[in-house]
Amino acid sequence: MRISDLSRRAGLPVATVKYYLREGLLHPGTATAATQATYGDGHLRRLRLIRALTDIGGLSLRQVHAVIDAIGEADPLGAVHALDARFDADAGSDRGTADAEVDRFVDGELGWKVAADAPARRLLADALVAMRRSGRQVDVAILRPYARAAGWLVTEDLEAEDVSAGPDRSERAVIATLAADAASIALRHLAREHLAGSGRGDRGTM
């Protein structure tokens, strides 16, 4: 397809598509003339992925670059690891015992089989540390309801998703993951607004 069709199907202005091409976020099309190129389904999938990363992932273009570079030929799991790696800007951080607490919780208490270097482990430890730094006395046990909700939601999601093989399997996995992240964040924030407002009655929302 031509760039105008690609742009229309991706729901993005042609100028944006050209910008992504210049920035190397989108691979070049096949040249058909000196100033024309043709684009395929792979380009459309890539644009949908970029949109998901920026729109619902809230990623900056620099972070999108890092995720796309890392996805490459990776399997779906590697793609999700790449996505989570953006949270690890602070790898040398003073998480202290939090890393070990999280590992004991995930491997021991939950008995989940996940890679030892899964970036989500570090994200979890950072969450604990942030709660503690802000003055809350929290134990890793605070994560139990989250783990229960996660197991339940993911089971439902995996039943509904198309996890079949295909050239776009990693992209599908990343988009499904981002969409589920967004749904989970958005609904918790809305629930918080509702419950904090109505419970304390200080928001005038009743």
Q: Which is nearer to a second copy, 28 or 146 (CB)?
A: 146
Q: Which is nearer to a second copy, 35 or 62 (CB)?
A: 62
Query: What is d(CA 15, CA 35) in angstroms, rounded to the nearest whole number?
Result: 15
Tokens of 198: 């109505």
Q: Which is nearer to a second copy, 21 or 84 (CB)?
A: 84
The nearest distance, CB 33 to a second copy, in angstroms, is 30
Query: What is d(CA 177, CA 181) in angstroms, rounded to the nearest whole number?
Result: 6
The nearest distance, CB 27 to a second copy, in angstroms, is 19
Query: How large is the angle between the packed helices 41-55 and 14-23, nearest 10 degrees?
Result: 90
Bridge partners (DSSP) listed for residue 38: 30
The nearest distance, CB 168 to a second copy, in angstroms, is 8
Q: Which is nearer to a second copy, 31 or 115 (CB)?
A: 115
The nearest distance, CB 10 to a second copy, in angstroms, is 9
The nearest distance, CB 14 to a second copy, in angstroms, is 15
What is the 8-class DSSP label of residue 195? H
Q: Are 203 and 197 in contact (CB under 8 A)?
A: yes
CB atoms closer than 10 angstroms to residue 95: 17
Q: Which is nearer to a second copy, 16 or 38 (CB)?
A: 16
Query: What is d(CA 68, CA 72) in angstroms, rounded to the nearest whole number?
Result: 7
Q: Are 144 and 105 in contact (CB under 8 A)?
A: no
What is the 8-class DSSP label of residue 202? -
